[in-house]
A = this chain, B = another copy of it.
Amino acid sequence: MSPVSSRAQPSADLVQGVLAGNRLLLARTISRVENQEQDAQSILSALYTHTGRAHIIGVTGAPGTGKSTLVTVLAQGYRRAGQSVGVVAIDPTSPFTGGALLGDRVRMRALAGDPGVFVRSMATRGSLGGLSKTTGDVVTVLDAAGFDRIIVETVGVGQAEVEIASTAHTTLVVEAPGLGDDVQAIKAGIFEIADILVVNKADRPGLDRTLQALEMMLDIEGNGPRYVRHHGQLLRVEAPPDDDEHERWQVRVMQTVATVGTGVEELRQQIEAHRTWLLDSGEMAVREQLRVANTLENIIRAELNRRILASMPANGMDDMVEAICRRQSDPYSAAQALLARV
């Protein structure tokens, strides 16, 4: 490959570079995709047929549960097991600077310098319709680049973040003892998308209460309600049906102390057990369809947003805003008028 210097690297070089495992070209490709430059779409189209090998792991949970540390230690475990790991971390954004608040430098420093690991932080700025698409795009690039496992870490509070995690093959919901009451409520919301529940910071006071609450929700001891995914829907199953061709996946509560590594290898093995179950049960095909349908929708949404913004006359909008402020018009009628123009 020719030396890399030109800023306007041809798309074909980038595609070849990603497929050949060139780190610099990989980073450059991701930037081009993230910034939605002109050739991003043709690059992604070219890379897509090389995807489908990576196992995608979503990690979500409320702020304060120690997700970043857990992801770092988990990635190290995969490295010891001889597998390469891509990490996509979605950071809350500063509305002022537009930049991510944590960023690669602060987080996951322990992973630096290992050629088998690639970490990318992404900001939530301009998330309306765009975040899900861009995250999916970056996962596509990492998958094509041949990473064995891709971990997508999100702050699990907004619906969009939950949706990102739910397009993973295996979704971890991370909890921690002793968080406040409305954190508990949020937990209940994202709990239902979990394939594996993790109580991190398991050495903290309040562990028993957290475990109790989770196990009550899971009804782990009894033969009570189970939640299964079926054709993209979460269904509640009152009791296991008799004609069970294969074992149903049982959500387990794993305990970890990521800062010292306790329980992380067991967690990794549980993730791998889930992957094996997905493949053996045929559930993997269902999840892949889900993922593809989500990807399609996200691309369409983002493209529509782009088109509407491009076609909207800035001045015309200012005049309308003025008129609405004077209550001579209203935004609902004005929106109709603008849309009629496009």
Docked-complex contact B127 and A182, CB < 8 angstroms: no
Q: Tell me the residues in window 299-333 of chain A with beta carbons closer than 8 Å to chain B beta carbons.
A: 299-301, 303-305, 308, 312, 317, 320-322, 324-325, 327, 330-333
Indicate if A234 sits at the interface (CB-CB under 8 A): yes
> Hey, what's the 0/1 contact readout for A62-87 against B, CB within 8 Å counting as 1?
11111110000000000000000000
> Hey, what's the 0/1 contact readout for A169-182 against B, CB within 8 Å counting as 1?
00000000001111
Indicate if A24 sits at the interface (CB-CB under 8 A): no
Of the candidates B102, B126, B158, B321, which one forms a contact with A185 in the assembled complex, judged by CB atoms under 8 Å apart? B102
Indicate if A254 sits at the interface (CB-CB under 8 A): no
In the bound complex, residues from chain B placing their C-beta under 8 Å from that of A101 are 185-186, 188-189
Of the candidates B96, B285, B299, which one forms a contact with A192 in the assembled complex, judged by CB atoms under 8 Å apart? B96
> Hey, what's the 0/1 contact readout for A194-206 against B, CB within 8 Å counting as 1?
0000000000000
Complexed CA–CA distance, A186 and B161 (Å): 15
In the bound complex, residues from chain B placing their C-beta under 8 Å from that of A132 are 128
Size class of the contact patch on chain A? 35 or more
Indicate if A92 sits at the interface (CB-CB under 8 A): yes
In the bound complex, residues from chain B placing their C-beta under 8 Å from that of A190 are 95
Docked-complex contact B95 and A331, CB < 8 angstroms: no
In the bound complex, residues from chain B placing their C-beta under 8 Å from that of A108 are none
Docked-complex contact B63 and A186, CB < 8 angstroms: yes
Q: Tell me the residues in window 256-285 of chain A with beta carbons closer than 8 Å to chain B beta carbons.
A: 285
Indicate if A20 sits at the interface (CB-CB under 8 A): no
Stretch at the interface among A5-13, A40-48, A207-215, A241-249: A40-48
Docked-complex contact B180 and A63, CB < 8 angstroms: yes
Of the candidates B95, B155, B296, B336, which one forms a contact with A157 in the assembled complex, judged by CB atoms under 8 Å apart? B155
Complexed CA–CA distance, A327 and B334 (Å): 43
In the bound complex, residues from chain B placing their C-beta under 8 Å from that of A324 are 48, 292, 295-296
In the bound complex, residues from chain B placing their C-beta under 8 Å from that of A234 are 95-96
Task: Contacts A300-B335, A305-B304 given; indicate if A285 touches B186 (C-beta within 8 A).
Answer: no
Q: How far is the CB of A124 from chain B (nearest CB, A)?
A: 5
Of the candidates B92, B293, B336, which one forms a contact with A189 in the assembled complex, judged by CB atoms under 8 Å apart? B92
Indicate if A193 sits at the interface (CB-CB under 8 A): yes
Indicate if A160 sits at the interface (CB-CB under 8 A): yes
Complexed CA–CA distance, A166 and B95 (Å): 10
Most buried by B among A68, A92, A183: A92
Of the candidates B44, B181, B186, which one forms a contact with A332 in the assembled complex, judged by CB atoms under 8 Å apart? B44
Docked-complex contact A49 and B186, CB < 8 angstroms: no
Identify 9 new A-B residue pairs, CB closer than 8 A, beyond the known A44-B330, A292-B325: A63-B63, A65-B180, A67-B182, A95-B192, A96-B192, A96-B234, A101-B188, A128-B128, A129-B129
A-B contact pairs, 18 of them (CB 8 A): A41-B336, A48-B324, A48-B331, A63-B63, A63-B157, A63-B180, A64-B64, A92-B159, A94-B188, A94-B189, A95-B193, A101-B185, A124-B159, A292-B324, A296-B317, A296-B331, A300-B308, A304-B339
